[in-house]
Amino acid sequence: MTRIKFCGLKTLDDIYAANEILPEYVGFVFAPKSKRYVTPAQAEKLRGALSEKICAVGVFVNEKISTVAELLNAGIIDAAQLHGDEDDGYIKNLRALSDKLIIKAFKIEEIEKLVPSSQFLVPILIDAGAGDGKVFDWSLLKDFRGEYFLAGGLNPENVGAAIELLHPFAVDVSSGIETDGRKDFGKMKAFADAVRKDFL
C-alpha cells in the first residue's frame, strides 16, 4: 500500500488530526523562508503530542549538517528530508553523525538526468518544484524504477489517479490538504481515504 506523508504541520490541531488519520509520516518544515516554518522548540512541542506510530520528518534547505544531526539525535525528528543543494558528501557526513532516515528531494527536471532510484544513497522524493503545490507531468515517471515519495500538487481528487499510474512508495501532500493556508481535517481525511480506498 502507498504510504502517506502530511507535510507542513504547524499546530497541535494539525497533530491531533494526524493522530486520528495515522499517515505513516508527517513533516515539520525548518526552512525559514517557508510559510509553514516551525522552530525547533515548536517542533519539539508538536512531536511530544504526535502518535508514536507516525514518523516525524524534518524538512531542510541547505541547513548546517550539525543542526540537522542535532534535531535527529535529540529525537525531535525521526528523519531528515533535504530540499536544497545537498550532495553525496553532505549526506555521507550527516550519516556519520546520525543513523536516522535521510530523504533527498529532487525536482522532476533533475530526475530525467539521473539513474534509477535504487542507485541513490538514500530514498528520494520527486517534486515539481520547491514545494509550490504544482502538478508535473506524471508520465515522465512512468518508466522510472525504484521507490520514491511523490509530491507536487497532490490533493484528494487526483491522488488516486497518481497512485494508479505510478504506484509510488509514498505520496507527500501539504497545500492539497489546506483551506486558506491552514490544514483542513476534512481534506486530510479525504486524501487518506483516497490513498487507502482499496484497503478500507
Which residues are marked as active site? 7, 127
Beta strand 79-82 with 3-7 is: unpaired
Say if CB 156 and CB 176 are below 8 A apart: yes
- Rounded to whole angstroms, the Cα distance separating 182 from 158 reads 20
Q: Return the C-alpha cell found at 172.
A: 507527500
Helices (H), 117-184: 159-166
Instruction: Report the number of secondary-structure helices (H) and strands (E) in the chain.
Output: 7, 10
Nearest to 171 by CA among 179, 182, 197, 186: 197
Say if CB 29 and CB 60 are below 8 A apart: no
Residue 149's H or E segment, with its range, is: strand 148-150
